[in-house]
Chain A
Amino acid sequence: EDQVTQSPEALRLQEGESSSLNCSYTVSGLRGLFWYRQDPGKGPEFLFTLYSAGEEKEKERLKATLTKKESFLHITAPKPEDSATYLCAVQGSNYQLIWGAGTKLIIKP
C-alpha cells in the first residue's frame, strides 16, 4: 500500500539552528516526490519536485534530498519567517498524490 510518513510531527528551533525534516515513503513506481509549505489559513505552496534517488534541490535556506525510501528537507540557519507546516507528497504510477500529515516547524527568534 502506498504510504507517506512525516516526522517529527512538530519541531521547535531557535533562529539559526539548522535541522532536517523527514518524509518516508512506500509507493509503486515513483513518478515524483513533492514538498509544499503551508502557512496558517492558506493553501499549500509548492516548493520542490524530486524525481529520482540522489537528486537534490535548493531554494534559499531549504535543501531537499531524495533516496529510494525517504526524503529530507534540510533547513539551514532558519529564520522566524520559515515557520510553517511542511507537507510531503509522492506520486505513484497511477498519478495520484499520497500526502503525509506534515511537520509543523516553529522558529523562535
Chain B
Amino acid sequence: ETGVTQTPRHLVMGMTNKKSLKCEQHLGHNAMYWYKQSAKKPLELMFVYNFKEQTENNSVPSRFSPECPNSSHLFLHLHTLQPEDSALYLCASSQENGNGYTFGSGTRLTVV
C-alpha cells in the first residue's frame, strides 16, 4: 500500500457516460495532482491542488473536471470522453514544495 489509494483500478466507459475517479491520501500532504500516462510518453500533468485550491490546469479539455473537497481527497469527473482519452490516470500527493511525490496505483481507463 503506497499511502495514496485510487479507485477504481479499471474503468471501461462509453463516450456518453459520466464517471468519477477517486483519490485518497492520509500522508498529511498539502498538494495533490492528477496525471495522465500514455504508452511511451512522459507523464502529463493535468491538475494541481495546493491546500484544496486549484493552482494548475494544463489546458485540459473541459470533459475532465477535478474536485478537491478537502486536503485528503481528490476526484476527477469524466463526461463525454473520447477514445484518445484512454490511458492510465495517476493521482499523486506531496508536501507543498513538490518534493518526493507519492503516487497511487492509477486507474486504467478505456473509452469505447
Which A positions have Cβ atoms within 8 angstroms of B?
A: 4, 9, 32, 34, 36, 41-46, 49, 87, 89, 91, 95-102
Q: B105: which of A9, A41, A49 is its contact (CB, 8 Å)? A: A41
Cα–Cα, bound, A36→B108 (Å): 20
Which B positions have Cβ atoms within 8 angstroms of A?
A: 2, 4, 6, 40-43, 45, 56, 90, 92, 97-106, 108
Apart from A42-B105, A43-B104, A43-B106: 5 A-B pairs, beta carbons within 8 A: A43-B103, A43-B105, A95-B98, A96-B45, A100-B42
A100 to chain B, nearest CB (A): 6
Contacts of A97 in B (CB 8 A): 43, 45, 98, 101
The interface residues of chain A, by DSSP majority, are classed as strand
The interface residues of chain B, by DSSP majority, are classed as loop
Known: A42-B105, A87-B43, A99-B43. A49 touches B99 (CB 8 A): yes
- 6 nearest A-B pairs in the assembled complex, by CB-CB distance: A43-B103, A99-B42, A99-B43, A95-B98, A44-B103, A101-B42
